[in-house]
A and B are shown apart, each in its own frame.
Chain A
Amino acid sequence: MGGDTLRHLTDEELTLVYYRESMPTAQEHLQGCFECQTNLARLADLLRPVHLYSPPEPGPDFEERVWSKLSLQLPKKRNWRLSLFRPFVLAPALAGLLVLALAIGLVMQRRDRPSGISARAQARVLFNTLTDHLDRSQILLAEVANARPGTDALKAAQGTARDLVDENRLLRLASNRTGDATRGALLEDLERILLSIANAPSNFSPDDLSDLQRRIDDEGLRFKVRVTNDDLRTEERTL
């Protein structure tokens, strides 16, 4: 409409005036135009009864009907279900699923099975077994060191010595492997004495016995074994 106030108002403009939605220029024109005032009065008479009736409820198939009309005018959309089965989508998706399944499987498997044996745990077992071994070795060395010459001077000790030799070998190898050279050396010294006892001939002479006792004494073996054992017990507690 612009700033044109000379032109008579159309029915649409009068309707907007009736609903108080018109532009200010339309109001200005209306105030000076008898004809448009008459037309507005007539339109008001016509529109007034409309407010007396509430708008009818749409039918149950209203949405469907509207949608069926609209859908015909919409551009055709691709079926997403079908597009999933295209190879360039399907292959990476399956690969991803496979990786996920493997990862879950690995996690579950790891949860079920215990982890390995740590170096600390290995050291604890070594120390624990070593203290037992050195305890028994101390008893044997004490027996041999105090044995009196006779035909069965070493008879009782030989069985124990045999068992200790075999154990000693494993413990020495384990100690050397962990880099514990000091204890490895002690076990080496101990092993030679244990071997001499375990393999002593049945005609072990009193001189042989005193030679063996001298070797144990010269080496300070009993003292070394006792001190090492005490150290091990202390270390075992701190591990």
Chain B
Amino acid sequence: MRKLGFLVLGMAAPLFAQDLSVWMPDSSSTSAWRRDFQARSGGNRSEDREYQRGLSALDAHRWDRAIESFEAVADRKGTDADAALYWKAYAESRAANREDALATLGELRRLYPSSRWVADAQALDVEVRAQAGSPVNPGAEADEEIKLIAINSLLQSDPSSALPALQKVLAGNSSVKVKEKALFVLTQNSSPEARKLLGTVAANSANPDLQMRAIRYVGLMGSDDARKELETLYSRSNDEHVKRAILQSFMRSGSRTFLVNAAKTEKSPELRAEAIRQLALSGGQDELWQLYQTSSSSEDKNAILKSMFLSHNTARLSELAKTEKDPQLRISAIRSLGLIHDGGTSETLVSIYKSDSHVEVKESVLNALFLQQNGKALVDIAKSEKDPQLKEKAVQKMSLLHSKEVTDYMLEVLK
């Protein structure tokens, strides 16, 4: 019966070869069954093997062998013939046989005009022509992505013609993705006009996604001009997203002066916190410390403490956990220390527990030691603590830990 089934399927194989996956449930056993079926049906297997051989040759950069394999597949005009022509042209272009490559791409377009490889074939065509030094015409390309490849080539040889074309793409109705790529192409040109255009896009709020990308690129310019441009943009903008993007750009450019200023003078607490965060990410520990000492806002101080934790500044956190007058800020510093398992933070926490008279602070130390899984320190505290409530809290915390010191102490208590 099974044999009969194979026979029927084998006869119908050419009809179903392309859409067989629709018939196949997703399991490895059916996969094996299908391979068996394909082997019996003969069909495209030899073509498929040749195609795979061509791909392996491409991966090994053995262009001649790849050309041979793909030519063989294309000649059979089977299901992979269009792909084979593309890869043949690709191998020819890499082997510097540009004329052959262009001819093969022409053949692909002529024989398989509706193939999904046609767009890539056109892009390869433009690339090969540019490599050969032939003039490219972005205006002649209907596909925006291919137009960009053409503009990119033209930008190197004739920027004065390429820039207006690029400007058109940026101002036109293309998708944001295409425009973002156009913006990248723009930055790879060194002319003042390209730089000016980048600044214009960065200042244009009509397309927020593109504006963010442009702001990022302006930040990457790293020049005084660019910093001034961003400062002006920051002061003029009312958009929080734009301002955040500018703060991030200043972090990337390593310019801390502006970030310190924004952290001090920005009216929005969220943006002040963002400036503080970016300052920490840019390595401005000294600036953060100065800011902490001069700030009168608990909110800002809290943001600075978080930033100190982000940059593992245990020295300052320890200092503040001991000396900060505001108990809530002390607790915040202690919590951060609890999340850092190095730099002698446990000793600091234990000493704070002993010296601080504030119950809430003591409880936060117990939490921090628990976060550090420091059973020994909790046992020591529980042994010496006279306040029954705090002692209970310490025992509660240690009951959730698994360590020898904790087990021994628990057994001692039970006795």
Interface residues of A (CB under 8 A from B): 113-122, 124-126, 128-129, 148-151, 163, 165-167, 169-171, 173-174, 177, 189, 192, 195-196, 198-199, 201-207, 211, 215, 218-219
Tell me if A206 and B195 are in contact (CB < 8 A).
no
A129's partner among B116, B184, B196 (CB-CB below 8 A) is B184
Which chain A residue shows the least CB distance to B80?
A201
A167 to B127, CA, bound (A): 14
Say if the beta carbon of B156 comes within 8 Å of chain A. Answer: yes
8 A-B residue pairs with CB within 8 Å: A114-B196, A118-B221, A148-B26, A174-B188, A201-B79, A202-B19, A206-B21, A206-B34
User: For chain B, which range describes its interface: under 10, 10 to 19, 20 to 34, or 35 or more residues?
Assistant: 35 or more
Interface readout for B186-219 with A: 1 if CB under 8 Å, 0 if not? 0111111011101100000000000000001100
Cα–Cα distance between A119 and B199 once the two chains are bound (Å): 18
Q: How far is the CB of B171 from chain A (nearest CB, A)?
A: 19
Could you tell me if A215 and B55 are in contact, using CB atoms closer than 8 angstroms? yes
B117 at the interface (CB under 8 A from A): yes
Residue B177 interfacial (CB < 8 Å): yes
**Which of B38, B191, B252 touches A207 (beta carbons < 8 Å)?**
B38
B149 contacts chain A at the CB level, 8 A cutoff: yes
Identify which of A119, A150, A198, A203 contacts B190 (C-beta below 8 A): A119
Given A116-B191, A118-B223, A169-B123: A199 touches B24 (CB 8 Å cut-off): no
Interface residue? B387 (CB, 8 A):
no
Please give, as numbers and ranges, the residues of chain B lying within 8 Å of A126 by CB-CB distance.
Answer: 188
Q: When the two chains form their complex, are residues A170 and B184 in contact, meaning their CB atoms are under 8 A apart?
A: yes
In the complex, the answer to whether A116 meets B194 with C-beta atoms within 8 Å is yes
CB of A170 within 8 A of CB of B185, answer: yes
B326 at the interface (CB under 8 A from A): no
**Within the assembled complex, what's the spacing in Å between the Cα atoms of A122 and B56?**
35
**Structural contact, B187 and A117, CB atoms closer than 8 A:** yes
A114–B156 CB distance below 8 A: no
Alpha-carbon distance between A128 and B189 when the two chains are bound, in angstroms: 16
User: Given A170-B185, A206-B31, A118–B56 Cβ distance below 8 Å?
Assistant: no
Q: B184 near A115 (CB under 8 angstroms)?
A: no
Return chain B residues, CB-CB under 8 Å to A205. 20-21, 34, 38
CB distance from B120 to the nearest CB of A (A): 6
List the A side residues contacting B216 at CB < 8 Å.
Answer: 128
Chief secondary structure at chain B's binding surface: helix
Instruction: Type the 1/0 row for B210-242, where 1 means its CB is closer than 8 Å to any CB of A.
Output: 000000110011110110010000000000000
Residues from chain A with Cβ under 8 Å of B31 in the complex: 149, 206-207
Is residue B52 within 8 Å, beta carbon to beta carbon, of the partner chain? yes
Contacts of B190 in A (CB 8 A): 116-119, 122
Q: Closest residue of chain B to A205, judged by CB? A: B21
Complex interface: chain A residues within 8 A of B220 (CB) = 121, 124-125, 128
Residues of A within 8 A of B191 (CB): 116-117
- In the bound complex, how far is the Cα of B123 from the Cα of A171, in angstroms? 14
A20 to B70, CA, bound (A): 129
Contact of A114 with B195 in the complex, beta carbons under 8 Å: yes
Residues of A within 8 A of B35 (CB): 206-207
Residue in B48, B55, B156, B226 with the greatest tally of chain A CB atoms within 10 Å: B55
- Contacting B19 at CB < 8 Å: which of A115, A121, A196, A203? A203
User: How many whole Å from B103's CB to the nearest CB in chain A?
Assistant: 20
Nearest CB in chain A to that of B148: its residue: A170
- B120–A199 CB distance below 8 A: yes
Our pick among B58, B59, B117, B221 for the contact of A117 (Cβ within 8 Å) is B221
A203 touches B21 (CB 8 A): yes
A178's nearest neighbour on chain B, judged by CB, is B188
